[in-house]
């Protein structure tokens, strides 16, 4: 069995894993599509139908194409998140419009939830942390920024920290548009389940004030699919054209040793078969340790383990024309907390990276 986490890098994996864990514990939520919408239905967590929950339209009478219901533990807010549209306003600019409605019986301190919408290091009163996922091209589109490189080209809800029962606020963000043949995107927010398969439509009245605003260089990130074997031993991450397989050193080697175990052979045979089937001409192998011990031990141990994996892969791979790049990093590139045994186990690894 495995679990799939989507992100644009390992720091994002940690952030989104944490957010997903908190969401499972703290939120009772669903994502759904109103009856009669062209968008396909979708559900996450405790899924419910929109029938009878008041999600057919917001406080201003607008009908959403997708909805997430959230009961947030912080402040006890009862909020509904609606997506109204994802529109092309020009060949270069896509605009996402969302609404947030207080479906509770008392005033909601909406700021406590919406503050999570901000991207790291940015003002917590804009949706700068909401991204669009192009599954077709394995890309993550971040909101456009103004020419100062800091300010999100999006709405700002500063001064709207409290939301009375039944009231709504509307938010929007501008994004670099995907290729013309992309018709659906996923919407990823830090406080709701992912909205899948949101249709892209053409704006009937493109907003020139949004389209003509000078902006910084668009941020379109490689979209990583990160799959972690819950039984331990193997994880993998993928971008559009690269595969990276992480093998636990605890499976490959005995403690403080660099001789491959019998169990390692089965794992490496599977990797070799995948490399044989790929277009790769170069295979990069990186050895890593936890921070136990010192550099004089960890650095050579990580290199020796990477070389042991290289040697066995050379024996298992059947096609010619492949070169290897081998590096030992010691404890300098952890992907988990070295203060816990679970984290140290994740950091003891050999990573094999190659083109698809």
Q: Are residues 56 and 183 in the same domain?
A: yes
In this structure, is residue 227 part of a structural domain? no
For residues 216 and 117, membership in a common domain is answered with: yes
Residue at 93 is within a domain:
yes
Residue 58 is assigned to a structural domain of this protein: yes
Q: What percent of the chain has pLDDT over 70?
A: 71
Is 141 contained in some domain?
Answer: yes
In the chain, how many domains are there? 2
Q: Which helix (H) or strand (E) holds 9?
A: none
CATH number of the domain encompassing residue 282 = 3.30.1330.60
Same domain as 105, residue 17: yes
pLDDT score, position 209: 94
Range of the domain at 282: 232-355
pLDDT in tens, 287-328: 999 999 899 999 999 999 999 999 999 999 999 999 999 999
pLDDT at position 272:
95
Do 151 and 294 belong together in one domain?
Answer: no
Please check whether residues 85 and 184 belong to one and the same domain: yes
Whether 96 and 236 map to the same domain: the answer is no
Give the position of tokens 């009231």.
167
Q: Residue 313 falls within a domain, yes or no?
A: yes
In a domain, 156, yes or no: yes
Q: Higher pLDDT residue, 218 or 43?
A: 218
pLDDT band, residue 188 (cuts 50/70/90)? confident
Tell me, yes or no, whether 127 lies in a domain. yes
Same domain, 155 and 262: no
pLDDT band of 129, cuts 50, 70, 90: confident
The tokens describing 202, both together, are: 């053409």
pLDDT at residue 260 greater than cutoff 70: yes
Domain boundary among 204, 222, 240: 222
pLDDT at 316: 96
Alpha-carbon span 134 to 4, nearest angstrom: 17
Angle at which helices 262-277 and 295-316 cross, to 10°: 60
pLDDT in tens, 134-173: 988 888 899 999 998 888 899 887 766 678 888 888 889 9
Among candidate residues 222, 253, 274, the one where a domain is terminated: 222
pLDDT of residue 122: 53
Q: From start to end of the chain, where are the E strands?
A: 2-7, 30-32, 66-71, 78-88, 93-102, 131-134, 139-141, 168-176, 184-188, 195-199, 201-202, 220-222, 224-229, 234-238, 242-248, 282-288, 323-328, 349-355
Whether the predicted pLDDT of 208 surpasses 80? yes
Q: Are residues 208 and 297 in the same domain?
A: no
Pick the last residue of a domain from 222, 240, 257. Answer: 222
Residues 123 and 151 in one domain: yes
Rg (CA), the chain: 23
Closest CA to 195 of 185, 182, 180: 185
pLDDT band, very low/low/confident/very high, at 282 (cuts 50, 70, 90): very high
- Percent over 90 (pLDDT), the chain: 42
What are the structure tokens assigned to 12, written together?
């994002």
200 and 63, same structural domain?
Answer: yes
Residue 259 belongs to some domain of the structure: yes
With 60 as the cut, is the pLDDT of residue 212 above it? yes
Dig out the tokens for 61 from the structure.
Answer: 């009478």
- Residue 72, pLDDT above cutoff 70: no
pLDDT value for 330 = 95
pTM: 0.55
Looking at the fold, whether 338 and 249 belong to one and the same domain comes out as yes
Parallel/antiparallel/unpaired status of strands 78-88 and 201-202: parallel
Q: Shortest CA distance to 9 belongs to which of 238, 178, 181?
A: 238
**pLDDT at 66 exceeding the cut of 80:** yes
CA–CA dist 47, 49 (Å, integer): 7
Amino acid 110: pLDDT? 63
Higher pLDDT, residue 109 or 2: 109
Helix (H) or strand (E) holding 18: helix 10-26
Which stretch of 60-64, 73-77, 312-316 has the lowest confidence by average pLDDT? 73-77
**Residue 345: per-residue pLDDT:** 87
Could you tell me which residues come within 8 angstroms of residue 248 by beta carbon, excluding any fewer than 6 positions away?
232, 233, 234, 345, 346, 348, 349
Check whether residue 206 and residue 239 sit in a common domain. no
Sheet with 323-328: strands ordered across:
2-7, 224-229, 234-238, 242-248, 349-355, 282-288, 323-328
Question: What one-character DSSP code corresponds to residue 233?
Answer: S
pLDDT tens for 9-54 read 333 333 333 333 333 333 333 445 443 333 333 333 322 333 333 4
């Amino acid at each position: 069995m495995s679990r799939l986490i989507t992100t644009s890098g390992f720091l994002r994996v940690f952030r989104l894993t944490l957010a997903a864990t908190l969401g499972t514990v703290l939120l009772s939520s669903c994502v759904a599509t109103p009856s009669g919408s062209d968008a396909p239905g979708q559900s996450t967590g405790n899924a419910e139908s929109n029938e009878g929950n008041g999600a057919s339209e917001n406080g201003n009478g607008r009908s959403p194409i997708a909805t997430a219901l959230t009961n947030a533990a912080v402040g006890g807010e009862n909020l509904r998140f609606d997506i109204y549209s994802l529109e092309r306003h020009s060949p270069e600019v896509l605009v996402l419009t969302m609404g947030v409605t207080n479906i509770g019986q008392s005033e909601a301190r909406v700021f406590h939830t919406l503050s999570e919408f901000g991207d790291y290091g940015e003002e917590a009163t804009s949706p700068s942390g909401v991204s669009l996922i192009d599954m077709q091209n394995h890309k993550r589109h971040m909101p456009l920024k103004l020419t100062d490189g800091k300010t999100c080209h999006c709405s700002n809800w500063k001064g709207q920290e409290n939301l009375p029962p039944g009231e709504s606020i509307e938010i929007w963000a501008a994004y670099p548009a995907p290729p013309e043949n992309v018709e659906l995107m996923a919407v990823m927010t830090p406080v709701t389940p992912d909205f899948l398969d949101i249709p892209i439509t053409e704006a009937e009245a493109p907003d020139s004030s949004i389209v003509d605003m000078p902006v910084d260089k668009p941020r379109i990130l490689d979209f990583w699919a990160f799959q972690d074997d819950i039984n331990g031993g193997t994880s993998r991450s993928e971008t559009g054209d690269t595969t990276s397989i992480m093998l636990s050193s605890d499976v490959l080697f005995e403690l403080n040793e660099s001789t491959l175990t019998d169990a390692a052979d089965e794992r490496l045979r599977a990797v070799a078969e995948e490399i044989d089937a790929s277009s790769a001409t170069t295979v990069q192998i990186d050895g890593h340790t936890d921070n136990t011990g010192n550099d004089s031990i960890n650095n050579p141990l990580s290199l020796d383990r990477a070389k042991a994996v290289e040697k066995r892969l050379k024996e298992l791979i059947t096609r010619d024309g492949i070169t290897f790049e081998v590096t030992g990093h010691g404890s300098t590139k952890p992907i988990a907390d070295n203060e816990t045994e679970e984290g140290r186990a994740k950091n003891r690894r050999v990573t094999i990276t190659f083109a698809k």
